[in-house]
Amino acid sequence: MKHTHGPKLISPAEELFEYRSVEKKKLKLTMAITGTMMVVEAIGGYFTGSLALISDAGHMFTHFFALAISFGAILCANRESCNKTFGFYRVEILAALFNSLFLFAVTAYILYAGIKRIIHPAQILGLEMFLIALAGLLVNLASAWILQGASREDLNVKGAFLHMLADTVSSIAIVIGAIIIYFTGWLIIDPLLSIGIAIVIFWWGWGLLRDSVNILLESAPKDLSVDEVSQSLKSQIPSIEEITDLHIWEITSKMYSMTAHIKLKKELAHTDEREILAAIKRIANEQFDIEHTTIEFE
């Protein structure tokens, strides 16, 4: 009879599933409190007359969307389709593309309203603005704290975590602005803050548009050099004489694929191609994070 001793061993697949389950719970919680605060800021901005609060609600939407993207990426990772050989990963990129266009519309509105407010100042309830902005700041800090642990292990969650930190900065600015308005009555602070937030939203939206289009056009990843990959493979694997038709592209954010034709040196033709293929896959994965590799030997 067999006897087992010690703790039960968990397979890598089971460990990954458990980790993703915890990750999804954290993202759900963060999305819930972020989405709620986004609505509160939008309504509060309308009733207090603060354009800065409405702008921050738009800024918070961009980070709510970042959380949704991270959550969707986890769901898509485990979903299969018989006629979609790359799965549903590109849904994330399409969503990011449409979101970037929406952000440009939000930016245009905030800039228009901000300039109009500078020309024709409106009365603002400074104390109420301060309380709502303070609540938004606390929500951003809580969200960042919830995601902090998971962000060390997962790139998608790390991106969402960094967005929450960025939103915290704008919340601090609005809290300070509300205090200044309450004690000094300088109403111009509010539209100036909203214009500043609009510029931040535009900058983030432009980066989102650029990255989305590059991925959809299957451009080489911006943090990878095709020449560097080629030189690295040839220097580490002496059997390789020439690499042609080398293509590297992103299926979705941080998921890279590579195809190439490999010509071996004649004097080393006896080398086992399986060993060379294994070495290529190892170098591509460990040094350049390329997960999918297809190689044809000439």
Q: What is the DSSP string of 132-187?
A: HHHHHHHHHHHHHHHHHHHHTT-HHHHHHHHHHHHHHHHHHHHHHHHHHHHHH--T
pLDDT (0 to 100) of residue 149: 57
pLDDT (0 to 100) of residue 23: 64
- The dotted CATH code for 14-216 is 1.20.1510
Straight-line distance from the first to the last Cα atom of the chain, in angstroms, rounded to the nearest whole number: 54
- Give 55's contacts (C-beta < 8 A, 6+ positions apart): 45, 110, 114, 193, 194, 197, 198, 201
Give tens-digit pLDDT for 113-139: 899 989 988 888 889 999 999 998 888
Give tens-digit pLDDT for 171-192: 888 899 999 999 998 999 999 9
Least confident of 16-20, 23-27, 232-236: 16-20
Q: Quick one: which of 190, 257, 184 has its CA closest to 219?
A: 257
For residues 26-45, give the mean pLDDT: 87
Q: Quick one: which of 226, 227, 202, 291 has its CA closest to 253?
A: 291
Higher pLDDT, 23 or 83: 23
* In the chain, where the domains are located: 14-216, 226-297
pLDDT (0 to 100) of residue 104: 87
What share of the chain has pLDDT > 90, as a percent?
A: 12
Which CATH homologous superfamily contains domain 226-297? Answer: K homology (KH) domain (3.30.300.20)
Assign 10 a pLDDT band (cuts: 50, 70, 90): very low
What share of the chain has pLDDT > 70, as a percent?
A: 76
Assign 155 a pLDDT band (cuts: 50, 70, 90): very low
- Given a cut of 50, whether residue 15 has pLDDT beyond it is no
- Given a cut of 60, whether residue 153 has pLDDT beyond it is no
Give tens-digit pLDDT for 69-106: 767 766 665 555 545 555 566 666 777 787 778 878 88
pLDDT (0 to 100) of residue 4: 46
- Given a cut of 50, whether residue 53 has pLDDT beyond it is yes
In angstroms, the CA 70 to CA 159 distance is: 8
- Given a cut of 60, whether residue 68 has pLDDT beyond it is yes
Whose tokens are 């089971």? That residue is 14
In angstroms, the CA 241 to CA 102 distance is: 49
pLDDT (0 to 100) of residue 131: 93
Total residues found in the chain within this entry: 298
CA distances from 217 to 193, 214, 248, 278 (A): 36, 5, 12, 29
Q: Residue 209 region, left (φ>0) first, then alpha (ψ -120 to 50), else beta?
A: alpha
- Given a cut of 60, whether residue 150 has pLDDT beyond it is no
